[in-house]
Amino acid sequence: MRQSMWLLVFAAASVPALLVGACSGDDTSVPTQDAGTDASKDSTTDSPSTGGDPVRGKYIVDTLASCGDCHTPRNADGSPDMTRYLAGNDCFIGVNRGDAGPGGPQDPPGCLAARNLSNHETGLKNRSDQEIRDMFQNGKRPTGDALYPVMPYWVYHNMTDADAKAVVAYLRTVPGVDHRSTSQAPWNSPPQGTAPPIDLSKVHTPKQEGNADYDSQMRGKYIAAVTAACIECHTPDKAGVNPPTADRERWFAGNREFNRADLHLPPNFPETIHSANLTSDPTGLAGRSVDDIVKAIKQGVQPDGGLVCPPMPAGHLAPYSKITDEDARDIAKYLLSLPPIANARPDCQPTPP
């Protein structure tokens, strides 16, 4: 789960904050096939240490994956503390409901920390490239422990080899900050194993024959189902399972619940926020145009003028505002190709702050 710049999505112009730096338009292409971790070749300028392109890596980390939303600590006004960029967040998400976990109910509620990703000894400096990839793609710590699946390693597992190398190459350039992330774990025991990665062959693939948008839609699939991890927040949880686990029979059907208190949102937001249904059903995106979806992705604005609620990292200065127009259109074309799944959700209608 990625924590957005909560205040920006509602009243961006009034918040004196800047999110992680601008993306690059260089080499943001992605494969058109169902890509595994070895699905593409490096076609970019290599970093001597990793064989990856740090410019491409910056675009993935700062924009598509919005890593800073979880891994950069916040100032009191909710803005990211850029003096501690990617230095870890001791409580990026709270668990305030006493959720049952592998060891039973958590009492008192706790916080989940996001680790330090900067190039410091308390971060990733002493980790090998493979150890870093094992964490963000396979959910495995160097100690052998599993990561909580709140970190969507089970989504990033399908990142191409070139993109995964690019991410590592960019993280090697992040200035080191001395901060050892601490956490009051929201469940009483660590995960007993890692979550299985998404099988992309079971996620909708557009038809190719007679489809002029096929290549664009396949690029959109890779972004939505892998690098931008849209599939994570916009897939409902399986009923009765804790920690929350995605319902893999209803990819992109939305209606996943996010608790206002867990996300540290102000009280002008509803107590529970539900992610949007992104399928072509009337309860989803039926009737929307490509331009409508691009506007929602980049500006956080709905066709009726309403604003997109967090945790969607959209809106003025938010990470998705930096998505290239081509990538945003590819995502939109892919989403409009999704078969309909009926899954109505309550609208998020925040009151003025």
Half-sphere exposure of 321 (CA within 13 A, CB side): 19
User: In whole angstroms, what is the distance from residue 322 CA to residue 63 CA?
Assistant: 6
User: In whole angstroms, what is the distance from residue 37 CA to residue 324 CA?
Assistant: 23
| CB crowding 45-81: b at 16 or more within 10 Å, else e | eebeebbbbbbbbbbbbbbbbbbbbbbbbbeeebbbe
Q: Is the pTM of this model over 0.85?
A: no
Please report, for residues 30, 51, 95, the alpha-carbon distance to residue 163 in angstroms, rounded to integers and kept in the order given: 9, 10, 32
Residue 216 CA to chain centroid, in angstroms?
A: 21
Q: How far apart are the first and last CA of the chain?
A: 25
User: In whole angstroms, what is the distance from residue 86 CA to residue 74 CA?
Assistant: 11
Asked whether the beta carbons of 29 and 216 are under 8 A apart, the reply is no
User: In whole angstroms, what is the distance from residue 157 CA to residue 140 CA?
Assistant: 11
pLDDT score recorded for residue 50: 60
pLDDT score recorded for residue 347: 86
Asked whether the beta carbons of 292 and 303 are under 8 A apart, the reply is yes
- Low-confidence residues in the chain, pLDDT < 70: 1-50, 94-109, 183-190, 240-244, 352-353
DSSP, res 307: B
DSSP string, 66-129: -THHHHS-B-TTS-B-GGGTTS-EEEEEEE-S--EETTEE-SS-EEEEE---SSSTTTTTTS-H
Residue 104, exposed/middle/buried by CB under 10 A (0-12, 13-18, 19+)? exposed
Amino acid at 343: N
pLDDT score recorded for residue 8: 31
